Structure formats: C-alpha cells, structure tokens
Amino acid sequence: MVLSALHGAYIDTGSLKYLSFFIVLCLYVLIIGSNVLLIVVICLNRSLHEPMYMFLCSLFVNELFGSTSLFPFMLIQILSDVHIISAPLCFLQIFCMYTYGSVEFGNLAVMSYDRYVAICRPLQYNSLMTSQRIVFLVSVTWIYSFITVGVTILMSSSLQFCENVLNKIYCTNHSVIKLACNEPRVNNIYELVMLILAAFAPISIILYTYMRILKVCFSGSKETRQKAVSTCTPHLASVINFSFGVSFEILESRFNMNNVPGMLRIFLALYYLNCQPFLNPLLYGLNMSKIRNLCKKLVPKFIS
C-alpha cells in the first residue's frame, strides 16, 4: 500500500520553495546544534553529573529524536512536486513522533519528581535520587514509550485500507486509521487509553508535585522560595509549552478544523515538533548558570 499525502495545501510553496527549504534547514541545524551542544556539555563535565542534569540530557536526546522524525522528510517534500509517502515510512514517522511525545511527558514528570524531592525533602535527596534510581526512571520512560507506541503501530498496520489520501502535513495514527475500510473501534479505544497513560498521567504527577512544592514555598524561607523559582520556572514553561502543542494536535486530528486558516493550521501542526526542541535549550541553557558558564568556555575552544 502507498499512502498519497495531500500536502498541496500545506507544503507547495511555488517559487518560494527554495526560501522555505533554507528556512526549515536553518531551523533544523539550529535545533540539532543547540541540543547536541548541551548534551556534550553535560556528558563531559563531572560537575554536571547530577540527577537534574541527567534528566535534562535525556530530554535533549529526545528533542533530537523528535525533530529528526519530521525535518529530513519535510525538506524532501518541500523540494518535491509529488507528495507521496510509502506505508512503512508513514508508520515509522508515526512511531517516532508518538514515542517522542510519550518520552517528553515522561521526562517532564520525572523532572518534576526530582524537583519535588530536592525542595520538599532535601535531607533525603541523596538517598532517594541515587544513580540506580536515575537510570531506572529514565529507562522506564523510554522503554514504556517504545512498547506502547509499538503496539499502536502493529494494530494500525494490520488494518485494511480503502483510501490512501492524508490531508496532513505529516502522518498521524488517527488520520491513518480513518482510512480503514471498517471503523477500527479497538484501535480508537487503545489510542485513547495510550493518550491517557502517556499524557494525562504524567500531567497529573506534575500537578501533584507542584502543589506540594507550592505548599513548602509558602511555609518556607525566602531562600527556599528563590531556589524553587530558579529551578522550577524553566520546567514549568516547558510543560505549558508542550501541553499546548499536544492539545492542538489532538484537537486538529480528531475534530474538523476547516474553519481555521490554513497557514495557522500549518504553524500549530509544526509547533508540536518544532517549538519544544528549539525552546528547551534556551530555557535550560540560559537559565542554569552551570550550563551557561560551561557553554561559554566550550564554544571558543571548539571554534579555535
């Protein structure tokens, strides 16, 4: 089977396609460069081998994983006159993007737990956040996401399809299963359960930890409040930003959004995969003094 994607309304840019290609390529290079830089800084400096930075390293690796699932194919599509994607490549794209979203929420939930322990139980932090526990939390986040999304792909790829046109800028599981000859009720139910476990469960954990952090801040000292603000602000901004992108992606996939202007739909569809990998290095790299100072030292050495 070949899925012919109707990217005409989204990607065909006529005489501006080379300019669009250049802009998208620059954005991709910037995302790759900034995330790789921070991963290298964290891995090469022993002073950053702390739980918070290990979780950040996992987050940056996931940003590379998610952006790479979209940008290379999009660059090809911008220059192409025929927008066709094979079924295996379509399902691979779905697997990468859904895994990225699940791992992102998992990483953010683990990071909120780390901040909760650091602020609410500081005397027990070293005994609770051991190297073994860090490896366990990161491993569970990735392995769980790979398994659950893998089951989704297996279920969707076994369907019989009567249509082959996707009115999307990239493949999504819900848009693909709508092409099936019969309504795949089991697939829809599993996708809903996976969404609850991958998104709403981590968000619930994040909300609970922040309620506990706020309670400690209101009853604690000024130093405790300053520590909470400095470490939690970038994390909270990242959570809000990614939740917004995922929310629109869910709405756009499951409801008729034809009343929304086409260019706005393009921007918000790309926001899910673009803004987080671009924003996180800025949020964490510029806010955390250790990373900021080490980046200043590393960049001149690399250039020279």
Mean pLDDT of the chain: 82
- Categorize the per-residue pLDDT at 289 as very low, low, confident or very high, splitting at 50, 70 and 90: low
Specify whether domain 2-8+16-303 bears CATH 1.20.1070.10: yes
Burial of 218 (0-12, 13-18, 19+ CB in 10 A): exposed
CB 101 within 8 A of CB 198: yes
Share above pLDDT 90 across residues of the chain, in percent, rounded to a whole number: 24
What separation in angstroms does the CA of 255 have from each of 18, 135, 174, 180, 216? 33, 39, 11, 18, 41
The C-alpha atoms of residue 217 and residue 178 are separated, in whole angstroms, by 48
pLDDT tens by residue, 81-140? 777 788 888 889 899 989 999 999 999 999 999 999 988 888 889 888 998 999 999 999
Domain boundaries, the chain: 2-8+16-303
CB 99 within 8 A of CB 146: yes
Helices (H), the chain: 8-11, 17-44, 51-68, 71-79, 87-120, 125-128, 131-157, 173-177, 185-195, 201-219, 222-254, 262-287, 289-303
CB 206 within 8 A of CB 223: no
Please state whether the predicted TM-score (pTM) of the whole model is above 0.85: yes
In the DSSP assignment, the letter for residue 197 is: I
201, HSE (Cβ side, Cα atoms, 13 Å): 13
Q: What is the pLDDT of residue 180?
A: 83
Among left, alpha and beta (phi > 0; psi -120 to 50; other), residue 227 is alpha
Q: What is the mean pLDDT of residues 19-34?
A: 87
In the DSSP assignment, the letter for residue 180 is: B
The residue among 138, 134, 116 whose CA lies nearest residue 232 is: 116
